[in-house]
Amino acid sequence: MLSWRLILWAVALSAAAVGGWAVCQWRADAKIAALRLEWSQATAAALKAERSRTTTAIIAANKANRALSEAEANLLDAREARDRAQKELIHAFDADPDLDRPGLPERVWRDILQHWADQ
């Protein structure tokens, strides 16, 4: 039959095994918790850095968009000025009675001739 010493040793050995398992489990849980904390901090830092890069990119894109809008406005102004100048030139051609020099007013023609004479 089983002796009480053998039963006592079996209980003690089982208790030691359960205790060892509990300590290992506790240490593993602590390591997992530490790793999770480290991962969450690393993830938070990466998200913060990405947010910063995204914000910087958005600011740069907005500046470029403003510059493009200004350039487009300047282009429209230049086109309008060109159209006005073309219309004035057409009106000047239409208003000139001397058809062998179309669009050139008489006083401008005299100024050109005088300039050539002075050369």
Walk along the chain (119 residues) and give the pLDDT tens digit of each residue: 568 888 888 888 888 888 888 988 999 999 999 999 999 999 999 999 999 999 999 999 999 999 999 999 999 999 899 889 888 877 776 676 555 556 667 787 788 778 777 86
Domain layout of the chain by residue ranges: 32-118
- Its pTM stands at 0.47
Neighbours of 47 (CB within 10 A): 10
45 exposed, middle or buried (CB, 10 Å; 0-12, 13-18, 19+)?
A: exposed
